[in-house]
Structure 1
Amino acid sequence: MVQELAANFWSVLVNFWTDGVLGIDFTRLLIVAGILIFFYVLRGLFARIVLVTVRQWAKNTDTNFDDMVIEAVSPSLKLLVVTVGVFTAGQYLALEGIGGVIIDNLVRSMVAVAFFWALYNITKPLTLVFKRLEAVLTREMVDWLITATRIGVVLLGLATSLQIWGIQVAPLIAGLGLFGVAVALGAQDLFKNLLAGLSILVEKRFGVGDWVMVDGVVEGTVEQIGFRSTRIRRFDKAPVYVPNTEFADSAVTNFSAMTHRRIYWKIGIEYSASKDQLQQVRNGIEAYVLNNEDFAKPPEVPLFVRIDAFNDSSIDIMLYCFTRTTVWGEWLEIKEQLALAIKGIVEGAGTGFAFPSTSIYLESLPAGAPEIFEPPKQVGTDA
C-alpha cells in the first residue's frame, strides 16, 4: 500500500516536472535560466574587459569625440549581449506557434531598442558637429536642432517597435487625425509660440545671456529660449517666463547689442555766472571728454557740449556723449569720474551749480497792513 502511494506520488512529481510551464519541462527551463544567467555574467565581463580597453584606447587619442561615442553606445552594447542570450535561449527552446512568435518579436524589439538607444545617445557627441553650425545658425537654434533630432529618434524607435509587434503605424496615425485636428485647434497658442520662438532664432533678435527689455513686460537677462516660452532673469534674480508671442507683439530692446553707452546730462549753472565763466565751463567739459580714452569720439559717435537753455533757476549746459564700454559697472565708474571732473571744472571757473529756488518781490504793502518793524541799530560806546 505504501509502495503504491509512493509510486503514485513520484509519478505526479515526474509529470509535473515533465509538463512544466506552458508545456516546457523544468529541465529545459533551468537550462534556459542558466543561459540567461551566463550571458548576464558575460555582459559584466564585456563591460569590464572590452569596454574598459576601448575607453583606454580612446583616451590616448587627440580628440574627445571618440570618448563620447564610446560612452554613448556602451549601454546599448551591454543590452546586445543580453539580447544574444535571449536569442540563444529562444533557439534552444525552439518554440512553435505563438510562443515562437513572441520570442522572435522580443529579440527583434531588443535589437531595435539597443539601436535607437545608441542613436539617441550619439546625438550628444554629435553636438560637437552641430556646434560648427553656430557660424551660420545661432547657438539656440543649434540646441533646438539637437532637441528635434532626439525627439525624431524617439518617435522613429517607437514606430519601429510597434511595427515589430504587428501594430501598423500608418493607420494609427490616420485614426488619430481627427483627434490631432481637435488638439491643434485647442493648441493654437502653443503653435503661435513655437513659430514666434523660431522667428526669434532665425532673425537673431537676442540670445542666451543678452540683456533685453520687453516693453511693458519685463527687463532682465535671457537664460533660456524654449519651444513655448523664454525664461528671463530679472535683476532682482526672479525668473520670468515670457510666452514667445510677446516678443512678436511687443517692442524688444536688446541692450547687449549696444556698440556704445550714452551719457546725457543737463548741468545747471548759476545765473550769476558770467559769459566767460560759462564758456570756460563748457570748454573744460568738452576738453575732458575729447582727451579721455574712455569716451568714443566723433565721427564714430556724436558729441555735444552746448549751452542749451535758460531754465527757471539755472543756465543749462547739455552734455551728450558715449562711452566705449557697454558694461554697466565700468560705465558707472566712468560716469563717476566724469561727475568729479565737472565738479572741479565748475569750481575752477569761479562759479557754482544752481539749485531750484524762488524769489518773491514785494513792491508795496497792502492797505491796512502793519508797518514793517525795523530793529534799532546798536551804537557802540567806548569804555
Structure 2
Amino acid sequence: MDQNTANWPSIVQNFRDAMNQWLITIDPNALALSAAALLVVFLLRKKISDWIIGGFEALLKRFSVSLTDEVASQLKIAVQVLAVTFALFLTLDAISPPDLLAGVLNQVLGSVALVAVFATWYQLSGPFVSLLVADRVGPAAKETSWVQRVSQFAILLFGLTSLLKVWQVDISGALAGVGVLGAGMAIATQDLIRNLVAGMTNMSEQRFKTGDAIQVEGQFVGTVQRIDLRSTLVVGFDQIPRYIPNSDLSNSVVLNYSERKHRRVKVVVPLVLSSTREQIEAVRDALRLHHQNSGDFHLDAEAAQYIFVNEIGPSSVNILIYVWTKDVDYDAYLQTKERLTLAVLQAVKSSGTELAYPTQTLKFFGDPPSKSPKTDLVE
C-alpha cells in the first residue's frame, strides 16, 4: 500500500512532463486555425446540413424522387453531428496529441459518428420500409410493422458490431459461432424465411393491403385483415378466418377487387317474340337515355357502353346492357341496379310490349288414321 502511494507522485510527474512536451510541439497558428474552423462549423452546422440535404434533394428530384419532412429532418440531424465530428477530427490532427490520448479520442469520435449514422438509420426504418407498399416515402403502414421490427433489430446488431470493432474488441469467435448457429437456424426455419421473403415481395408489388377484398386462385373471396411475418389473415364473407402462408399467396393468382375503379353491370332484357320493331327500339332508346342521364354510370370514353339489340333467343328478343357504374361501393352498386331494373320495367310497359319468359310450344296435327283390325272367319 505504501509502495503504491509512493509511486503516485512519479506517475503524476511523468504525466506532467508528457503534457508539457506535447504543448511545446503544438503550432499556435495551426491550433488557432483549427479552433476557428471548429467554431465556424459548430455555429453554421444547421446551415451546412440545409445545404447538403438541399443538394441531395435536388439530385433526387432529377430521378422523380422526393423526401418527406420527417426523412429530411432526421438526415439533417445526422449531417450536423457528422460535420462537427469531422471538424473535431481535423482539430485533433492539427494539435497532434500523444498517441494514447489520440487513439482514445479518435475512438470516441468514431463512436459518435457511428451512433449518429445508425441512430438515423433506426429512426428512418419505418419510412424506408413503407417504400414496399407506397409510391412515396411516408409513415410505415400497419401491415409493415413486423418488417420494421426485423429491420430495426438488424440495424441494432450491425451498429453494435461496428461499435465494438471501433474499440478493437475481437468478436471474430462470436461471429463464427453466430454464423454456425445462423446456418442451422436457416435450415430449421427455411419455411419461415421463405414466407418472410414472400410477404415482403407481396408488399413491394403492392398486390394488396390491409382492408382489401381479394380472391385467391378462384377459391374464395375475403378481406385482408392482417399481414404477419409468416402468413396473411384473410376473413371470408362467411366470417371464417383463413391464415394463408405468404409463399402460397406469392405463387397464386390474386384478384384485388378493392383496386377496381368501377363495377360492371351486365343485364339481358328479354322481350317477347311478338314485339314489333318500333317497340323493341323504344325499349332500347329508353334504356340508353337512362344510362346517359341517371348519373349512376361511368360515361368516359374508355368505359364500355353497350346497349344494343343483341340476339333472338328461343323465346325472346334480347337487349344487352353492358355498362360500368361510377362507384365501387357495394351498397351504391345495388342501388344503381335497382334503379336500372325499375327503368327496364317502365320502358317495357311504356312501349306496349312484355318481358319474355322461357316457353315451349307443342303442335299436334291430329290423330293418325285408325286401322280396322283383321278378323279371321272361322266356320
Same fold (TM over 0.5): yes
Q: Is the 8 A contact 2:126 2:148 kept in 1?
A: no
Matches within 5 A, 1:71-110: none
**Counterpart in the other structure of 1:245:** 247
Matches within 5 A, 1:232-311: 232-311=234-313
Cα deviation for residue 343 of structure 1 reads 0.7
Name the Cα RMSD after superposition.
Answer: 3.6
Matches within 5 A, 1:29-44: none
Answering whether residue 214 of structure 2 is matched by residue 229 of structure 1, we say no
Q: Is the 8 A contact 1:140 1:207 kept in 2?
A: no
Q: Which moved more, 1:241-250 or 1:337-346?
A: 241-250
**Counterpart in the other structure of 1:207:** 209
Aligned equivalents of 2:130, 2:185: Cα separation in 1:
37
One-letter amino acid matched to 2:197: L
Q: Which moved more, 1:359-368 or 1:274-283?
A: 359-368
Structure 1 unaligned spans of 5+: 1-64, 66-118, 370-383
Runs of 4+ aligned residues of structure 1 deviating over 4 Å after TM superposition are 125-135, 153-160, 167-170
Deviations 1:295-328 (CA, angstroms, capped at 9, x unpaired): 1114141100011111111111110001110001
Q: Is the 8 A contact 1:130 1:142 kept in 2?
A: no
One-letter amino acid matched to 1:341: A
One-letter amino acid matched to 1:276: E
Q: Is the 8 A contact 2:130 2:144 kept in 1?
A: no
Deviations 1:153-193 (CA, angstroms, capped at 9, x unpaired): 77579989x99xxx986434423544543443343332222
Identity fraction in percent: 29
Aligned equivalents of 1:179, 1:129: Cα separation in 2:
31
Q: Is the 8 A contact 2:214 2:258 kept in 1?
A: yes
Structure 2 unaligned spans of 5+: 1-69, 71-117, 372-379
**Counterpart in the other structure of 2:136:** 136
Aligned equivalents of 2:257, 2:202: Cα separation in 1:
16
Answering whether residue 338 of structure 2 is matched by residue 346 of structure 1, we say no
Cα deviation for residue 352 of structure 1 reads 1.0
Q: 1:188 to 1:129 in 2, by over 3 A?
A: closer
One-letter amino acid matched to 2:173: P
One-letter amino acid matched to 1:213: Q
Cα deviation for residue 251 of structure 1 reads 1.0
Cα deviation for residue 331 of structure 1 reads 0.5
Q: 1:235 to 1:291 in 2, by over 3 A?
A: same
Q: Is the 8 A contact 2:305 2:323 kept in 1?
A: yes
Deviations 1:90-133 (CA, angstroms, capped at 9, x unpaired): xxxxxxxxxxxxxxxxxxxxxxxxxxxxx99xx8x978867986
Q: Is the 8 A contact 1:140 1:201 kept in 2?
A: no
Q: Is the 8 A contact 1:264 1:319 kept in 2?
A: yes
Give the total of aligned pairs: 248
Q: 1:186 to 1:168 in 2, by over 3 A?
A: same
Answering whether residue 340 of structure 2 is matched by residue 321 of structure 1, we say no
3-state DSSP of counterpart to 1:185: helix
One-letter amino acid matched to 2:272: E
Answering whether residue 176 of structure 2 is matched by residue 174 of structure 1, we say yes
Matches within 5 A, 1:114-153: 136=136, 139=141, 142-152=144-154
Q: Is the 8 A contact 2:305 2:324 kept in 1?
A: yes
TM-score by length of 1: 0.56
**Which of the numbers 345, 349, 366 marks the counterpart of 1:364?**
366
3-state DSSP of counterpart to 2:248: helix
